[in-house]
Amino acid sequence: MTRPIFLVLTGLAIALTVAGGWRAWQNWRLLSEFYEAVERSDDIDEPITPSAHHLRAIRKLHLSWDTRVESGGPVVDASASDGSAEMGDDLAPIIGTRDKLAIAAFNVEVSRACVCIGTWRAARRAPPDGASQ
């Protein structure tokens, strides 16, 4: 009687291991495709002009104040940056696809747009050339 139970449990353990390995391989493949796409992009360090899609995604960001950053500063909530733990559910309606690679690439664009907006606002506050502060 114990032998069939042992065989069932062993089969279940093997199935779970194979399923976990398959999921890990899928994630690795997705990350590899994403990093290859980033490497092929020549303009990854260039500023971008934020589009309406970028601004909609930026408005969804969940920010908090972190006192560990210098004397305090805003940070994006890492566990639920766009409202929930599922980034695909949050960004898919904005960009119109549920493709994981497209969502990851769009998330990088949103990060670049945030940097561009911050640079643009800092430039607006800078004094004109020759003026003293």
66: which strand partners?
73
DSSP per position, 42-65? TTTTS-----HHHHHHHHH--EEE
Give tens-digit pLDDT for 9-53: 898 899 989 888 888 888 888 778 877 777 766 666 676 778 888
**Residue 117, domain member (yes or no):** yes
Count of structural domains, the chain? 2
Question: Is 123 in a helix, a strand, or coil?
Answer: helix
In eight-state DSSP terms, residue 66 is E
Domain shared by 28 and 92, yes or no? no
Check: CB of residue 63 under 8 Å from CB of residue 77: yes
**Residue 11, domain member (yes or no):** yes
CA-angle at 104, arms to 77 and 92, nearest 5°: 85
Cα gap 20→28, rounded to integer Å: 12
Higher pLDDT residue, 89 or 1?
89
- Domain region containing 27: 1-40
**Residue 65, domain member (yes or no):** yes
pLDDT value of position 125: 61
64: which strand partners?
75
